Structure 1
Amino acid sequence: MTKKIIYEIKNSLNSAILALLVSIIISQFAQLVTVSGKSMEGTLKNNDKLIISKIAYNKTSPQYKDIVIINKNGYKIIKRVIGVPGDNIKITSNKVFINGQELVEEYINTKERIENSCDIDVTLKDDEIFVMGDNRNHSLDSRDSYIGIINYKKNVIGKVLFSVYPFKEI
């Protein structure tokens, strides 16, 4: 073998090892996820590809309006944070109140009248968040006992950082 071939092989191996190390490091901090369903329509659509931070809440708690990926009852779901630790959430006549103030929610899907009325009055504990989909008529979220209040320390996988597909919405 010539020195040039050996040099090329070493360069290729170094590049492959570097790429592997970078991908391992990135996978510890971020993840690509795909939206499944229409519970976030108005903001996200079925099959949108998103990058999430898996370390966003290592030292802080979720904030109001964050979009999070949750592992609940074996399912991964994507929802918007509506209430954070310590908040009082009250829902009546399809209006959402946080600590007595009605929410103005410019992000919800308003193409159809909200029909799934429920009455809720709950105060969140230190490790709890209340989540809802932006497409309220088609969202299984904290309003339903199957999902319920979310323990963010146990159930939140990550925070959505940005969309990578479709490209026009990046």
Structure 2
Amino acid sequence: MSKKNVAEHEEVNIVKEIIGFVVYVAFVIFAVWVIITFVGQRTVVDGESMCNTLQDGDNLWVNKIGYRLHDIERFDIVVFPVENGDYYIKRVIGLPGETVRIDDEGNIYINDKILEENYGRETIDIYSIGRAGEDVKLGEDEYFVMGDNRNESLDSRYEEVGNIEKSRIEGKAVFRLWPLSKFGTIKNGNATED
């Protein structure tokens, strides 16, 4: 092979390597986009509305595919966007078709039956009842959510948040990544079970 042919062959190999690298990078970007959009993503807790379950700064893994395959259940911790572009992390209290009410003593009622749960950090004070002081009827695809730190949470009790449509829910918080001392699954599901 002449020097000219060798040089042309090397140029072709370099071009092939560059194209291969660009295709590889494009595939990785596409795969990451698919995972973040459809499977799950990391999120950071901002604020204390979910104390004592979650703390400010906790890093969580949000499962975005599971709730599309299964119904959202009472006491699941869900992530959803609000109008200002932020995301809220709250616990599901009321399910579609139910009626939620909170009495003057801070008791939560679902369809006129007291809700047995132990997630709330404290008893809801009379000033934190919000619109749930009267019956809140949930639509066919609406959820009533609350923070575990009941007296320090902006949630479905207030018009600014209101009932959350299923289509707005991005996913379910299922795993704490950080801090390492609390690494592991997040308590979801029936609060009265051990």
TM-score range (shorter-chain normalised) is 0.7 to 0.9
TM-score of the pair, normalised by structure 1? 0.81
Matches within 5 A, 1:28-107: 28=37, 29-74=39-84, 75-93=86-104, 94-107=106-119
Distance 1:63 1:120 in 2: 23
Runs of 5+ unmatched residues, structure 1: 1-5
C-alpha distance in structure 2 between counterparts of 1:54 and 1:132, whole Å: 20
Deviation for aligned residue 1:20: 5.3
CA distance 1:25–1:72, shift in 2 (3 Å): closer
C-alpha distance in 2 between matches for 1:37 and 1:169: 17
* 2:134 pairs with one of 103, 120, 123: 120
Flag the structure with higher helix content: 2
2:96 and 2:138 in contact (8 A); partners too: yes
In structure 2, C-alpha distance between the alignment counterparts of 1:63 and 1:21, rounded to whole Å:
31
Between 1:125-134 and 1:70-79, the stretch displaced more is 70-79
- Relative to total residues, which structure has the larger strand share, 1 or 2? 1
2:120 counterpart residue number: 108
> Counterpart of 1:163 in structure 2: which amino acid?
R
Supply the RMSD in Å over aligned alpha carbons: 2.4
Matched, 1:160 2:168: no
For the Cα contact (< 8 Å) 1:92–1:117, is it kept in 2?
A: no
Give 4+ residue runs of structure 1 displaced > 4 Å after superposition: 16-22
Structure of larger gyration radius: 2
Unaligned runs of at least 5 residues, structure 2: 1-12, 184-194
- Please list the CA deviations of residues 141-165 of structure 1 after superposition, one character each: whole Å capped at 9, or x if unmatched: 0000111111121x21111111100
CA drift at 1:100:
2.2
Contact 2:128 2:151 in 1 (8 A): no
Check the 8 A contact 1:70/1:158 in 2, yes or no: yes
| 1:134 counterpart = 2:143 | no
Q: Give me the whole-angstrom Cα distance separating, in 2, the residues matched to 1:114 and 1:125.
A: 24
Asked if the contact 1:120/1:143 (under 8 Å) is kept, the reply is no
Q: Share of identical aligned residues, percent?
A: 36
Alignment length (residue pairs) = 158
